Amino acid sequence: MKKLFLAATCLLAMVSLAWSGPLVTLEWTANSESDLAGYSVYRSQTDGGPYTKIGSVMAPTVTFTDGTSDYDVLYYYVATAFDTSGNESGYSNQVSNLVEQPDETPPGDPKGVSVTVQVTVN
């Protein structure tokens, strides 16, 4: 089977107004085998693996969203293709992604604010 080419895209999401952490969306080029059934996605915190399977999608879908990632953790991703007989390809090229924790600290209060009132009487 052909190698998959992955592009990692980071998305930050708020679900039901509650913090849900970053979403990492992976996208690849579709395989062209007639018996292609789908793709599996694997993740590791170590460059080169070992990888743990985090999900699968059925063809013709060519994207996967990892909703279990954390901020400030470097993840390495690979994908495989599998066919209708259950045969699985080797790993695609590896891509990595790090989503930094957003700055949620507000700036300090303004200091030295003064008000000048000018009244004009006619």
Whole-number Å distance between alpha carbons of 31 and 2: 6
Better pLDDT: 5 or 110? 110
CB-based contact 43:70 (threshold 8 Å):
no
Residue 56 lies in a domain: yes
Q: What is the pLDDT of residues 74-116, one digit of tens each?
A: 999 999 999 999 999 999 999 999 988 887 888 887 887 877 8
The closest of 75, 59, 60 to 23, measured between CA atoms, is: 75
Q: Whole-structure pTM over 0.75, yes or no? A: no
CB-based contact 102:12 (threshold 8 Å):
yes
Non-local (6+) Cβ contacts of 98 within 8 A are 72, 73, 74, 75
Residue 63 lies in a domain: yes
- What is the arithmetic mean of pLDDT over 30-41? 95
- What integer best gives the mean pLDDT of the chain? 83
Q: Read off the CATH number of the domain in which 65 is found.
A: 2.60.40.10
Residue 34 lies in a domain: yes
Residue 67 has pLDDT above 60, yes or no: yes
